[in-house]
Chain A
């Protein structure tokens, strides 16, 4: 029986999130530390991408939604893309890493990985069973 699912990706797994940030060229600090914002105000986050001169990008665990959420001071945002796009990029890489890890753990092999013109990543994994 085949099925088709649509999944709204949530940032749940720490390793996949760290990997996604590294894929995008960042060097996340995986220990809990204060995220610096405007005029030295800080907020604690479990993951942090430090920025020179402040305006750090943090990811804080939300126990209610059971996922990480981005925390940053938007007044100090210095990334080349808007924050919504940044989060979308992180989420896409996160989804790719999660799927690859889960597939390998279930004994699947990647048979195809391509990127479409619109930025969509197409991934095909397969496994032979008796």
Chain B
């Protein structure tokens, strides 16, 4: 048994960021294509976990700015 997890971040403007974890090979594409096709056009896709790590760092770096303005 393996757990497959998909994390979504749905931005206030409707843009969706999606992180797929634990899929191997073809299954990864098949499952997420359905979700992606019901949503819209994929603007960017990166196939490494490192891509999400750099994204997360960008987000957390931006957080103090948002907190100040709130």
Contacts and interface: CB of A to CB of B under 8 A. Distances in A.
Given A122-B7, A125-B6, A7 B15 contact: yes
A92 interface: yes
Interface in B1-22: 1-22
A63 interface: no
Q: Which bucket holds chain A's interface residue count?
A: 35 or more
A2 B49 contact: yes
Contacts of A123: 7-10
A1 B17 contact: no
Contact of B35 (A88, A103, A124): A103
A15 B33 CA distance: 19
Nearest to B12: A119
A6 B32 CA distance: 12
Contacts of A4: 17-20, 44-46, 48, 51-52, 55
A124 B8 CA distance: 6
B1 A130 contact: yes
B61 interface: no
Interface stretch (A22-30, A54-62, A93-101): A93-101
A102 B38 contact: yes
16 contacts: A2-B20, A3-B46, A4-B20, A4-B48, A5-B17, A5-B44, A5-B46, A6-B44, A7-B15, A7-B41, A10-B41, A99-B39, A103-B35, A124-B5, A128-B1, A129-B2
